[in-house]
Structure 1
């Protein structure tokens, strides 16, 4: 491409900012359009000055995120990370049992399922790690390698071929649905197998200032236009024209190429007027067909001894529970009088049906509905917790349905500049996969992929 190529990036999430980093490093002029008032997309955290650290909802950085860790070291952000416990408790109504990921003896003592299921889970995990994970045959963040295992089987079918129904529902299902909230009955076997091959023994961290600090560093050399919503991408006389609405009115301009790094349904609308030679039918069908599981995070402050600290509490079983999981973080909270108390900040995530019913309803109704349900997951949950913050994500998690990875690979193989796409919907719903997708899209424009 020409030496002074001007490129637009639509979307300031982890994929778009990773693409911007790759493009600006190659000497390209990059204009990044983001509809929100800050970067980070779904990885962006809210802030409240009365808590220490003041960052709230925060996606995790895992030890196997190689791309992310490379950037953390390059930017010298190691000191921004706070290691969190991998404590995992699974609830069966009134009984809660630990399900460790880093201790085989403790795993073999897991009380919700029979010993035969525990052994089957351990054997399957070790086999996936040794045969497919360590050899690189499967990769949770690489759609090409996920596609090789995407034979139309669901995660549920795979899990129940290894162990009893209860064994699957209280071990593998609990972990997949607890982290992502989508239904294993409609998720590709590739996702389950890659998770087994990848997650064993992983360590987890959060950014003290929020994961958006990484997005901001990646986009530092681009021209960033916040509060600019793109309505259309079209071609005129061989140039890409981006139409956007900003606070000052119409915005946008002409570019040599564009990276579209927004949720798939939004991407499909933005490029709808482009000719088939710019965006082929496979990509259009893929974008229009991608479904998402929305996410709703309800946070509370409770006394420091009300729940176990630094713990992920998940609902077991096959049913969609009213509360899917809780995560507890110790925080210091400064009151109006200046006094500081040790509290627990508890994030509660409703199940799928409750989440969909409450989206857009307003905090008062959301808290009134969710608070009485919390004791169903943790029977001893305080009766009068202090509501703290609500975070809604209508496009929470792209659902990796059976056949989705094969469709992803076919669609991306067809795409060519000047219009390319990026996002975690092409791979797994993780920040690592999103960034890798953004880098691949940028390299497709640069001709270095």
Structure 2
């Protein structure tokens, strides 16, 4: 048992980005931290995976310049974002002659970057440009917020957005940011994302593409940092139960040979269903809502010598003709070791994954061959389809999300599902982990 004069022991249960953020913050503040993760590696739903001898991400990600907490935490653990991420100005660019548009903001101070990008955009009619300008002006006047939430589709209709602008700009942005179709997505949360990106300083709207695999981007460095600060990381260790004993918390583990341990505080940084399972055995603990979830699918294809005109491009998706891809990334332009590897993202991918992996990969390869007019893309040397079936919660209007504070001394929650202005993103997870650590550090010892 610890005394008030010794370092207080904290268990962080769950090694995703939220758990890593909490553990690093607590260890840096002098707490004796042990991070428990059931998997063999850290990172949760944003990590590198080994597939047939290749290191791929379990999902292609775009970060934003607005991810201030994530970028600060990366620097804290020794990752240089300027080296690890390719920074691009805000853009929505489609393959030439594919029925899309070409919108690129110059490096001018906000909001002039948006105005200049809009004036120079091709593929949009005058009516579309006026529609976008009207949306931006009205949203700024509203302070990028809504008193009464509604769907993104209802918001766009209220702002008289054109069908073409919705198809080429707002729908892809909504899917990328909220992983929820506009017909069901929260307009309030969508506006918050826009407020802190296109509505903020110019650098906040920059798009940041990882040059490293997601494990190397943060979780591996977080592991090293925790241990460097005197903490411990135990992967392959699943927590079976949690209960209060006096002023401490007792953890028991799935491994029958592992001895239960006591801690002064616990950060529960598991996905909501697993966290709720542990909370069910704790007297007085809150129960978590039963979220609905949306999948994200990334299809990797390798074609020898394949190269896109840009590091990433938007795609016009049309499931009716087998065009499921929404964004395509040229991994070779981000990392020399992935020359010829293209990563195609399908957000809210329930319909796509119902095809089966082989059929989906074939459809996406055909889509790329058609829009880039490169027949070789239809016959990749290899492909890999990775689906995270519960990648994010479905970010719907008026969704109730729990606070990090459980109301019980020494027990807090962390995760991208906790109360936030943002949807389920890496930034939300990191902010939640930081907030959970702050609750522990500010609390008076029991």
- Mark yes or no: TM-score above 0.5: yes
Contact 1:294 1:395 (C-alpha < 8 Å) held by counterparts: yes
Q: 2:79 aligns with which of 69, 77, 83?
A: 77
Match of 2:341 among 341, 345, 353: 345
* Alignment counterpart, residue 125 of structure 1, candidates 136, 146, 158: 136
Matched residue, 2:110: none
Q: Which one of the candidate residues 44, 48, 54 is aligned to 2:47?
A: 44
Deviation at residue 235 of structure 1 after TM alignment: 2.4
What is the CA–CA distance in structure 2 between the aligned matches of 1:399 and 1:109, rounded to whole Å?
Answer: 35
Q: Identify which of 59, 62, 68 aligns with 2:61.
A: 59
* 2:444 counterpart of 1:439: no
Report the CA distance shift for 1:443/1:171 in structure 2 as closer, same or farther (over 3 A).
Answer: same
1:421: which partner in 2? 413
Of 181, 184, 191, the residue aligned with 2:182 is 184
Kindly state the Cα deviation for residue 185 of structure 1 after the two structures are TM-superposed: 1.7
On the 8 A contact 1:297/1:349 being kept in 2, the answer is yes
Q: Does residue 220 of structure 2 align to residue 216 of structure 1?
A: yes
Of 387, 392, 396, the match for 2:387: 392
CA gap 1:266/1:322 in 2 versus in 1, 3 angstroms: farther
Instruction: Indicate the residue corresponding to 1:242 in structure 2.
Output: 251
CA displacement 1:387-417 (0-9 Å, x = unmatched):
243333232122221112xx336x4466343
Q: Is the 8 A contact 1:20 1:442 kept in 2?
A: yes
How far has the Cα of 1:307 moved from its partner?
3.6
Contact (CA 8 Å) 2:118, 2:129: kept in 1 or not?
yes
Shift of 1:92: 12
Q: Distance in 2 between matches of 1:59 and 1:368?
A: 23
Deviation at 1:437, TM superposition (A): 0.5
Distance 2:381 2:311 in 1: 19
After superposition, give the CA deviation of every residue in 1:358-412 in whole Å (9 maximum; x if it has no partner): 6xxxxxx5133331244346533622012243333232122221112xx336x44
CA distance, structure 1, for counterparts of residue 116 and residue 318 of structure 2: 23
Equivalent residues of 1:186, 1:402 under 8 A apart: yes
- The structure-2 alpha-carbon separation of the partners of 1:319 and 1:434, relative to structure 1 and needing over 3 Å to count, comes to farther
- Which residue does 2:401 correspond to in 1? 408
**Does the aligned pair in 2 maintain the 1:229–1:245 contact within 8 Å?**
yes
Q: What CA distance in whole angstroms lies between the structure 2 residues aligned with 1:207 and 1:92?
A: 25
CA distance in structure 1 between the aligned counterparts of 2:169 and 2:334, rounded to whole angstroms = 35
Query: Is the contact between residue 297 and residue 347 of structure 1 (CA under 8 Å) also seen in structure 2?
Result: yes
Structure 2 unmatched ranges of 5 or more: 107-112
Are residues 1:289 and 2:298 paired? no
TM-score, scaled to structure 1:
0.79
Structure 1's unaligned 5+ residue stretches are 133-137, 139-147, 335-339, 359-364
Match of 1:99, SS? Answer: strand
Cα distance in 2 for partners of 1:448, 1:127 equals 42
Distance 1:415 1:160 in 2: 41
Deviation at 1:309, TM superposition (A): 3.3
CA distance in 2, matches of 1:160, 1:187: 14
TM-score, normalised to structure 2, is 0.79
Contact 1:320 1:353 in 2 (8 A): no
**RMSD over equivalenced CA pairs, Å:** 3.6
